[in-house]
A = this chain, B = another copy of it.
């Protein structure tokens, strides 16, 4: 917590909260931060935790490995995003994905009980926290719809274009950097890496895009 109050004041969970209220909320929810190094496992299907978290810095991936051993990246989260919200459900069905650090990162974890079992200990800010969590969930929903929209295309070029357009919109410029390496992008789009490279080259030849490593430009 120490010196990083600017970060906390800018995340949606504490939207509209004073510094004092943030401190109080963290205390109420038994918040603590933890740092992870790139590639470290944050939590995995095997061992669901009784906590949920907010990404403070860095990037994390939610992914899953299927029977054939190929990985699928559900989504990529960064500062302000909620992770592990499935823990907040009454009917605990276990986590469906692995969470790993895509870059070095820091996460603020909270115990869930004061959210889901309010009858025990209640803190004055709980209702406002719930409202902000509500907003975070809506964002996550939106994100998941987008993801489904992207992978719903039957052909590779449209998948790629759809993804790149969304990224371009997000960064509000034609020239942008994506948070994925080539292999990661392939796992995100559920395609083969070599097929992805091949199609990207074709798209460049066709004058649709230019790119170099993970920076792209839509033409």
Chain A residues engaging chain B, CB cutoff 8 angstroms: 64, 66-68, 70, 72, 74, 85-86, 88-90, 93, 96-97, 127, 130-131, 133-135, 137-142, 144-149, 151-155, 158, 190
Contact = CB atoms under 8 A, between A and B. Distances in A.
A144 B142 contact: no
Contact of A144 (B72, B88, B145, B155): B145
A63 to B, nearest CB: 10
State the main secondary structure of chain A at its contact with B. Answer: helix
A3 B131 CA distance: 33
30 contacts: A66-B152, A66-B153, A66-B154, A68-B154, A70-B154, A72-B148, A72-B149, A74-B148, A86-B138, A86-B145, A88-B138, A89-B139, A89-B142, A93-B142, A96-B146, A96-B149, A97-B145, A127-B127, A127-B130, A130-B130, A130-B131, A133-B134, A134-B134, A137-B138, A141-B144, A147-B148, A151-B151, A151-B152, A151-B190, A154-B190
